[in-house]
Structure 1
Amino acid sequence: MNSIRSILYLPFFLLLILACNQGDRSENTESHAIGGFILSESDLPEFEKNLDHKRLIEAWGDRHGESLRTGEHIYNNICFNCHGNHEQEGSLPTAFKFWKDTFKVGSDPFSIYQTLTRGYGSMPPQVNLTPVEKYDLIHYIRETFLLEKNPDQYFNLDSAYLASLPSGGNIGPAPKEFKPWAEMDYGNFLINTYEMAGLTTPPRERSSGPAPLPDENLIDANFAYKGIAVRLDQGRGGVAAGNAWMMFDHDLMRVAGAWTGEGFIDWEAILFNEKHNISPRTIGDLHFENPVVPAWANPNTDSFDDPRFTARDKRKFGPLPRDWAHYKGLYQYGDRVIISYTVGNAKILETFGLETVENQLVFTRTFNIYPSDKSLKMRIAPSGTAVAILGEGAILKDQDGFIVMELVSSQSLKIKLLIAKPGINGLAQYAKSSSPPEDLNSFIKGGPARYSQKLITEIQMGEQEGPFQVDIMNPPFDSPWKNQFRLSGLDFFKNPNKGVICSTDGDVWLVEGFTKNSGKLTWQRIASGLFQPLGIKVVNEEIFVTCRDQLVRLHDFNGDMETDFYESFNNDHQVTDHFHEFAMGLQTDKEGNFYYAKSARHAREALVPQHGTLMKVSKDGSKSEIIAKGFRAANGVCINPDGTFIVTDQEGHWNPMNRINWVKEGGFYGNMFGFNPPTDSTDTGMEQPLVWVERERDQSPSELLWVDSKKWGELNGQLLNFSYGYGKVFVVPFEKIGEQVQGGIFELPIPRFSTGVMRGRFNPGDGQLYLCGLSAWGSTQPQLGGLYRIRVTEKPMNIPKGLQIRKDGIELTFTDKLETNSVEDINNYTIKTWDLLRSRKYGSKHYNEQTLEVTNAVLSKDKKSILLTIPNIKPTWVMEIDFHLKSEKGEKVEGLIQNTIHQLGENPLN
């Protein structure tokens, strides 16, 4: 796949270290390991081939304290999330435990260095750690975990060992800590969940212990769960490069606060610095803040009482009722952001600004308020904050601990508020000379292009032998905005040469060149600042994006393709501060309704009903509903021809392994940490999956897709599953017995991708499969993001596409004809089964492992189906069918099907 030249574009925080319990290292380290990605010698940078390892290790003595501190920093920021430590289990319980596990590939520093450098098993190569950093990390692991807690694994260094190490002329490049999440230009706004924090805010409270983790006491924390952070000072680099900001919370239509400083936020979050179980805080000087309550009084009752859903921890979540207040979206005009919302039947446009009074900063809020049939009032800031007002039709009052703005009804108003720290001098006098409130209508019709530069990339055409060829269509990693390109969704327009791709960092890109065969792609950034987009869909040439806080429709008013209005098509999402509740995928049914999956909290019980659910949004965006529940980490949704759904889920608590679920409306899918789970926690109390997917086959399944292309021949109409965990593509043969769907997975014979694969679409123009992916919160693949095309050649596929379970055996159907003698030799099959145990614990080991005897094998008349007689076949959680056959033309036909059996078919084999 991609060379190290592409990989080295990636930043320091590239991946989590996922060193799962290691098996024996194959002597052929040039190839991909099961579930991993191993760099070959030729892919290593030149300095790795001429390192003085003795000098690097001996430096521990000279810089012992510094080395340990650096190693601790690396471990806590990269390794701890998955590995944890001897006191607190990491988020991936199967990850290697340095304080008690046994190394299988060598416990000496040089062996550990090789694993860090080239990858092994489920651990990816750490290509952006320098040699010094890798040895500092090894030093910390040795002295912190091995020496005292796992002494049998502590390798004693002596002169003979040091003399045996490869000698070289360098120690690699000087360490440099990259922070790409803080260097990216997100545009002048960025939507996320933020905690408002000032200079004296106490440290975060973070619970620990066995799952489910207890809820922290966050009732007094000021979270903007749907926070729109807007930069107010001038300059390049977007919101992350600013010095003054205001935060708008579109759940409550409140300004959560305003702050200044040398840094935007602390970047503590899974999709920033990869920290789990945490949300970013503002840093710097908090000039004023408002509590997590409605900003506008209910126009029908004149009350500020919050009627929203109250969670178990006493916090309230979700948007206000629509007849009270409703967020409509935001307009972008240059660096200006104009928020659009309603209060009652009054339409409101609002924008923010920054002014100076005697060298003291003043934050401004400008409103265009359209007529209301009721009087309105809004809390501006706590009493004591300096506030002045410009414009007619509004007055300020001090009420119940807040400065309140009251508005007259039945007329259009233009109001400007000036807000500053308590005690500022001269604000009232300054207000008299400040510019009057603007008419904001001139900023909502489309503005100048912000990202006018179009970027060109080359397509690397695949020349692989076999039935498939993979083209690499890398994004422009060297973009002027320092985008990370963690690609999370794609779709095509009616003109199949054009498509849209979203990234989880908040971008949407218009990409052209898919079908013109020019060997190039053109990338145009058309939207930015969105909250973790993880799905995109083009409907009637309009672009819809699934974000964590809302389903967004993008509007271009002036024909330059850039988004002028980010319409909140539906914002019913209930968002908490938990890192794990991603909104995944986007599909539409025949009636035009939208569907996406929402993940649950990791190792914690749900706080809101939407945690761990399949969500439906009506065609007009006016309402949403829960279709199914009980998911843990549902990565996307597939709509089946019969109107049912497929939703994948990931190994974890209450999930003994990964699941591919054929979903029925109203079904419960096993996560007892979900919201109001059924009382029956046994296996019979949940819907069973189509297949349990073992971690050796795939660590993390993503979305499924039906093949809709005649060019794919015998696979047309079949079902594919994408692997986020290992960068694979599987075909999913299945059957339905009664009401239960069951089947398996078989890996397509293509090299594994350098990213985890998230989403795929067939292009109606060329009939080929396009895939995009990313590596962020748990993939083992080393490249940050990627775009790929799989083309079908004319060569035989030799792929099992059908799987039927009978009372006394199995029928396998292949895409191409097979050779009789190899098929009928029962020694060419190995069939193993085992069970799993579903519990509140993370994952499951194997139980009741067996090898089943194949007593007969018969090839069908069309030479494409095999009838295997297996006398002891019975329902099982996991089965592996390993076969070594030949095609009719004498080619090797080998592989492994992993499947699940819930029921035996009625028709016995003859």
Structure 2
Amino acid sequence: MKSLCKHPAAIGISILLLASVLLTSYTDIKSAISGKTDTLKLGPFVEAGFPFISTSVDARKLGPGYPDDNIAARTLALQLGNNAYACFDTDLLRWSVAWTGKFLPMVLMAQISYNDFFNKSNKVTTVPGRPTSATGSYAGWFAGKPGFEVPRAGKAGQPSWVPMPASEGRWKGVYVYGNKAVLNYSVKNSNVFELPGTAVFDDQTVFTRTLTIESATEALFLTAAEITNGVGSEVKGKIAYIYQGANKDTVTAVAVLGKGNADIKPDVGNGRYLTVRFPASSKTIETSLAVWRGPAKQKAAFEKFCKKQNLSFPDFKKGGPSQWTETVATSGKLSPDTAAYVTDVLTLPLPNPWKRNVRISDVSFFKDGKAAVVTFEGDVWIVEGIDKNLGSIKWRRFASGLHEPMSVEVVNNTVHIFGREGIVRLLDINHDGAADFYENFSNAMAQSVESREWAADMAYAPDGSFYIAKGGAQSNGPGVTPQVAKGFRAGSSQNGTILKVSPDGLTCEVIATGFRGPYIGLHPEKGILTATDQQGNFVPSTPIYLIKKGDYYGVEPTVHRDDNPPIAPPLTWIPHSVDRSSIAQAWITGDKMGPLSGSLIHFSFGAPGLFKVLMDSSAAITQGGVSFIQGNYPAPTSKGAVNPADGQLYVTGFNLWGSSSTGISALLRLRYTGKPSYQPAGFQAGKQGIVLGFDSELDAKTAADAASFEVKRWNYKRTEEYGSGHFKLDGTTGEETLPVAASYLSADGKKVLLLVPGMSDVMQMEVAYKLSAKDGHKINDHFWFTVNNMADVDLEEQGFKNVDLALLTVRQNETVAAAVKEEPATAERGKDLFQKMACAGCHSEGLRTKGMYGPPFQNLYGSERVFEDGSKAIANEKYIRESILTPSAKVVKGYNEEMPSFTGVLSDSDIGSIVLYIKSLKK
């Protein structure tokens, strides 16, 4: 057994979500998960008519004669026809590999989960088929003189995972023209356009590179291929050859095609590099190259082929034909106005003419209220018809081929996407509704191939820059880079950081370090930057941070500093049982959202759902808290944005890593109905106790009754283990229940003051309350917060008079941790805890494993468990207890270590009840 609740991400207050909702067009989620649905038939991830996908590629094991340092995190994998393919490394401007046969296997995270929605068993992409040419991890072009082995060495012999300096060469972007891709990049001051392609002579496939070079102020050198086991070479006119094999029976060649271009010269460098020299020229150079590998006996046929070829560019700069001409219409679903805030559903375009999955990762808006959404599979859709009734929503595909994008920002009515390839600006040149130029706005940030080094989040800043968040290189990915700490790989030098990208996109600076899986929120006017992190190794529970430049946030493997910085405290912690997987934040600007206007909203992937964040700035260190916004959340909630047309918050997300929801994806509108809200509206934690404000006036009787409130507190421990148990202030395990000496209602009827003896700085506090509003509405809820640094509460300023502070002294000597009578252990209690503690989000009570992140419970008790280290044990009471309290002690083979300890959270009776419940599931 892995343990009782496994993770990456997700838990919540309740299991709110029913998988049967029609909100996402996944009309039968259980069938969709099992792959048996008739309502969602998906086409392949790679579409035949589109010229590329963005991906990472490991080509270090192509075989004898090929370089063994060939790995790239950011490439365009090009479909060139004739069953031929090539990968262009956009960091180093090189053809990393060209081959024939089959296209790349679809094994990356977005690819493998595309129609197997909960499959996270991603791998690194390798090259199938028959390779023709490859280059090592060095620049594909040099100016002034040839240069070959110029590695980007990082730590432990790994690549540094950064692009070549922009002054030497920079990726500019790719034009899509039908099924062709035209590459655009600079080499020094020269602007280069390249059309990759293929041709055939006899039974041989030739790779072609048609080039236009503008303003070559100095000679340029292209490295076309590296052959590490050459036995001889020659340059014959406009063709350079390197021979392989004892009898020189195999040859790799680069040729300058067609007539003319006598100054363009192929060559062989150091006996192993096939190169081409382009002269300095004030005129535009136009030429085509051919790269071929085959039997030496077919040299004559190849030479004949080269003389006859005369390739040219299409008229790509004016924009090409749209890839997707059809529009998909859906009808949304309005929620009845049953509360102050409700969630309307914008039905997704499923099915669609391209049989394309639609797992939305983010949403942004144009000034007129149109939306741009980006999907994890790399597509961008434009959404129109978002009006009050949602009666006719129109979806149109705008772009594709992006690399696991998780963020979109519409800036000056232009779509910007942040994926693993960097920030891409999408330009519709001919205004036909589809992007023609995928412009590289910025690839200045480092990016490794580790799957958890997500391009996690992006926010546009008032000064024209972008803030981005990059995931930490966690161990539960393909594992290409070395292990550096428990739960972490080396990744790049910027994994687990928040960065600021300059307004021109050419540079980026590190703002903060020490994150496991950060996501951000930025106030679009005030520039206030916030972030969350993912509970896990070095992160004891879910935090929300106010980000300050230069701060470090506690995850040792991503500190990226040598000065032993202090750990910045969070604005607030959130308990595992409330949100075990946090995502982004959004500020509600404008005045159309009632009491939520101006608020910071926190998104929970795990609950799923939204939380209102409150801040107490009365202390020396700002402290905060959260309350859950009740609503129907049919799928994980990850990102959101305010629509300028209606002022409402639109929310989206998709499932994969573990959530209390089984829905796959949704696009929702959190709508203010005008009905009364009973949410907390403000708080302060001070030496005298806790002030909690509400949106509506409260009933005086229940508000002034101390029995209406229950207050608890506990600390966490930050260690290399996954998450943390709960600990009292003296370091012993458990939680403390604090007495409420008295409660008072403010003069305006909207605030309560809880006099709490023994207040102290603490990582986590919880106030549970059962109140009535003045209008009779029952309020039964919780508020969770952190006390970073207490100050005196100005009672008069807060609206409280005649407060008897002597009651604090009277009750000061009461036992803080009041003894609680243990209930007897029963299987029924165990079943309740299975839901309350969110075990159900990770473990099936039956035999189901798909979509689950821990072993199933049926037939678990008494079974033999096999662990990652090869050892075995019987799943008896002792083993189950150990798995709950020390989950990292024994990890079941095939599962990751992704469950926190429940030490101090569950009592002996609680654990006994869970054991009895698991026993009862034995069939």
**Partner of 2:595: helix, strand, or coil?**
helix
Q: Choose the corresponding residue for 1:784, options 641, 661, 664.
A: 664
> Deviations for 1:464-492, whole angstroms, at most 9, x for unmatched residues?
52112211112112122232212112111
**Partner of 1:419: helix, strand, or coil?**
strand
Aligned 8 A contact 1:760 1:770 in 2: yes
Residue 547 of structure 2: aligned partner: 663
**Partner of 1:288: helix, strand, or coil?**
strand
**AA matched with 2:781:** G
**AA matched with 1:644:** I
Aligned 8 A contact 1:463 1:470 in 2: no
Alignment of 1:88-103 (within 5 A): none
The Cα shift of 1:521 comes to: 0.8
Residue 462 of structure 2: aligned partner: 590
Alignment of 1:696-775 (within 5 A): 696-751=577-632, 753-775=633-655
Aligned 8 A contact 1:644 1:665 in 2: no
The Cα shift of 1:516 comes to: 6.0
Q: Which runs of 5+ in 2 are unaligned?
A: 23-27, 114-118, 228-241, 243-251, 475-486, 729-734, 796-802, 804-923
**AA matched with 2:513:** K
**Partner of 2:157: helix, strand, or coil?**
coil
> Deviations for 1:586-628, whole angstroms, at most 9, x for unmatched residues?
2222221111111111122544331111111122223211111
The Cα shift of 1:739 comes to: 4.7
Residue 474 of structure 1: aligned partner: 347
Residue 404 of structure 1: aligned partner: 275
Q: Choose the corresponding residue for 1:885, options 771, 778, 781.
A: 771
Residue 864 of structure 2: aligned partner: none
Residue 493 of structure 1: aligned partner: 366
Distance 1:253 1:675, change over 3 A: farther
Distance 1:651 1:33, change over 3 A: closer
Aligned 8 A contact 1:332 1:444 in 2: no
Give the Cα–Cα distance (whole angstroms) in 1 for the partners of residues 20 and 202 of structure 2.
Answer: 63
Residue 677 of structure 2: aligned partner: 797
**Partner of 1:514: helix, strand, or coil?**
coil
Give the Cα–Cα distance (whole angstroms) in 2 for the partners of residues 183 and 557 of structure 1.
Answer: 25
Distance 1:670 1:658, change over 3 A: same
Aligned 8 A contact 1:631 1:669 in 2: yes
Alignment of 1:315-354 (within 5 A): 315-354=159-198
Alignment of 1:469-618 (within 5 A): 469-496=342-369, 498-515=370-387, 517=389, 519-602=391-474, 603-618=487-502
Q: Choose the corresponding residue for 2:80, options 229, 232, 249.
A: 232
Give the Cα–Cα distance (whole angstroms) in 2 for the partners of residues 764 and 530 of structure 1.
Answer: 27
Distance 1:583 1:821, change over 3 A: same
Alignment of 1:183-582 (within 5 A): 187-196=50-59, 220-233=68-81, 243-269=83-109, 272-273=112-113, 274-275=119-120, 278-297=123-142, 299-300=143-144, 302-306=146-150, 308=152, 310-383=154-227, 384=242, 385-391=252-258, 392=261, 393-400=263-270, 401-410=272-281, 411-423=283-295, 425=298, 426-432=300-306, 434-439=308-313, 442-463=315-336, 465-496=338-369, 498-515=370-387, 517=389, 519-582=391-454
> Deviations for 1:26-76, whole angstroms, at most 9, x for unmatched residues?
xxxxxx984546658999xxxxxxxxxxxxxxxxxxxxxxxxxxxxxxxxx
Distance 1:201 1:884, change over 3 A: farther
> Deviations for 1:244-290, whole angstroms, at most 9, x for unmatched residues?
21110011100011122245324243653444573222322222222
The Cα shift of 1:427 comes to: 4.6
**AA matched with 1:278:** K
Residue 648 of structure 1: aligned partner: 532
Residue 86 of structure 1: aligned partner: none
The Cα shift of 1:179 comes to: 8.3
Give the Cα–Cα distance (whole angstroms) in 2 for the partners of residues 811 and 450 of structure 1.
Answer: 58
Aligned 8 A contact 2:84 2:98 in 1: yes
Distance 1:642 1:452, change over 3 A: closer
The Cα shift of 1:801 comes to: 1.7
Give the Cα–Cα distance (whole angstroms) in 2 for the partners of residues 40 and 232 of structure 1.
Answer: 42
Give the Cα–Cα distance (whole angstroms) in 2 for the partners of residues 268 and 624 of structure 1.
Answer: 27
Aligned 8 A contact 1:487 1:774 in 2: yes
Give the Cα–Cα distance (whole angstroms) in 1 for the partners of residues 506 and 577 of structure 2.
Answer: 43
- Stretch moving more, 711-720 or 859-868: 711-720
**Partner of 1:312: helix, strand, or coil?**
helix
Report the TM-score, using the length of structure 1 for normalisation: 0.76
The Cα shift of 1:21 comes to: 3.5
Instruction: Verify: 1:623 aligned to 2:510, yes or no.
Output: no
Aligned 8 A contact 2:334 2:390 in 1: no
Distance 1:660 1:42, change over 3 A: closer
Distance 1:39 1:472, change over 3 A: closer
**AA matched with 1:758:** S
Distance 1:439 1:179, change over 3 A: closer
Give the Cα–Cα distance (whole angstroms) in 1 for the partners of residues 716 and 356 of structure 2.
Answer: 42
- Stretch moving more, 720-729 or 796-805: 720-729
Aligned 8 A contact 2:110 2:377 in 1: no
Aligned 8 A contact 1:758 1:773 in 2: yes
The Cα shift of 1:572 comes to: 0.6
Give the Cα–Cα distance (whole angstroms) in 1 for the partners of residues 577 and 778 of structure 2.
Answer: 23
Give the Cα–Cα distance (whole angstroms) in 1 for the partners of residues 527 and 606 of structure 2.
Answer: 28
Aligned 8 A contact 2:337 2:673 in 1: no
Aligned 8 A contact 1:596 1:637 in 2: no
**AA matched with 2:668:** Y
Question: Which has the bigger relative contact order, CA under 8 A and spacing at least 6?
Answer: 2
> Deviations for 1:340-380, whole angstroms, at most 9, x for unmatched residues?
00111111100111211112221111111123111111111
Distance 1:649 1:271, change over 3 A: farther
**AA matched with 1:406:** R
**AA matched with 1:292:** S
**AA matched with 1:594:** F
The Cα shift of 1:809 comes to: 0.5
**Partner of 1:772: helix, strand, or coil?**
strand
Distance 1:336 1:732, change over 3 A: same
Aligned 8 A contact 1:502 1:509 in 2: yes
**Partner of 2:294: helix, strand, or coil?**
coil
Residue 759 of structure 2: aligned partner: 873
Residue 873 of structure 2: aligned partner: none
Give the Cα–Cα distance (whole angstroms) in 1 for the partners of residues 46 and 302 of structure 2.
Answer: 39
Q: Name the Cα RMSD after superposition.
A: 3.0
Give the Cα–Cα distance (whole angstroms) in 2 for the partners of residues 469 and 174 of structure 1.
Answer: 29
Aligned 8 A contact 1:460 1:473 in 2: yes
The Cα shift of 1:789 comes to: 0.6
Aligned 8 A contact 1:379 1:404 in 2: yes
Distance 1:613 1:33, change over 3 A: closer
Report the TM-score, using the length of structure 2 for normalisation: 0.75
Give the Cα–Cα distance (whole angstroms) in 2 for the partners of residues 610 and 764 of structure 1.
Answer: 34
Residue 815 of structure 2: aligned partner: none
> Deviations for 1:495-538, whole angstroms, at most 9, x for unmatched residues?
12x12111121111111011264512101111111112111111
Aligned 8 A contact 1:503 1:533 in 2: yes
